[in-house]
Amino acid sequence: MLDDFFIRALLAGIGIALITGPIGCFVIWRRLSFFAGTLAHSALLGVTMALVFELNIALSVFLISAVISIFLLQLQTKTNLPNDALLGLLAHSSLAIGLVIIGFLTTIRFDVMGLLFGDILAVSQSDLLVIWGGGVFILIILKIIWKPLFASTINYDLAKAEGMNPDRYNAIFTILMAAIIAISIKIVGLLLITGMLIIPAALARNISSNPIQMALLSTIGGLLSILIGLFSSLEFNTASGPSIITAALLLFLISLIKTKKFSELKK
């Protein structure tokens, strides 16, 4: 029989995979992998802020993500440095500031490792509520904005010319990304949320031929990673978060074999 904590971990993981599947596709289509990483790094600052000001962690992480996004837009207008340099600057400096502030919090014992890698086995019922409630909300918004967001992803000018208002949907998508990181930071940790956003979507690309199919396969890939990762962490007594990402990587490698065969067939 499975323990309660393990069932909760499974439910939390499944919830996260359902959201990161389709959102992750947009992350790689829009070349936002590094941006997602930057938001995840800034989440550490968000968590320390939550501790300092006694705020809700998810809310605090969400607010810091929003601040970082706005700051990035400001930097883009002030300098001609390429985006990846600006993102690296923001990611590492917000991580550093977070760690510096933690150093001052002598009264609070703080599990930095837990924050980096998450602790999916420690998920509480209220955490589950946050993930599933937030997740359903995020997926409904994504469903509503799918068409204009997709058009804006394909080509900004075309979307704008034909009345799709790409600026609005680009902004909404950034908010959705911040929301995902906010609700999942406690469970999978900041290093692994980026992995869950990117790896399942990447493996899905190798084996799909249209956008809807890719979103579905990405979700399935995420679910399989969660299941394989969690059960093997139980079996081999390994850290659960990293096991999930390792499982995702294995699935990615398998998807590569399939792609290779496809391209050989074409020749």
Binding site for another protein (CB under 8 A): 28-29, 31, 147, 150-151, 153-164, 205, 208-211, 213-214
Cα–Cα distance, 17 to 56 (Å, whole number): 23
CB of 147: closest distance to another protein in angstroms? 8
Cα–Cα distance, 142 to 150 (Å, whole number): 10
CB of 11: closest distance to another protein in angstroms? 31
DSSP 122: G
Nearer to another protein, 111 or 162 (CB): 162
| Residue 78 CA to its chain's centroid (Å) | 28
First to last CA, the chain: 51
CB of 21: closest distance to another protein in angstroms? 15
Nearer to another protein, 83 or 208 (CB): 208
Q: How far is CA 195 from CA 40, 52, 204, 236, in A?
A: 10, 28, 14, 22
CB of 79: closest distance to another protein in angstroms? 14
Nearer to another protein, 25 or 244 (CB): 25
Residue type, 186: K
Nearer to another protein, 68 or 149 (CB): 149
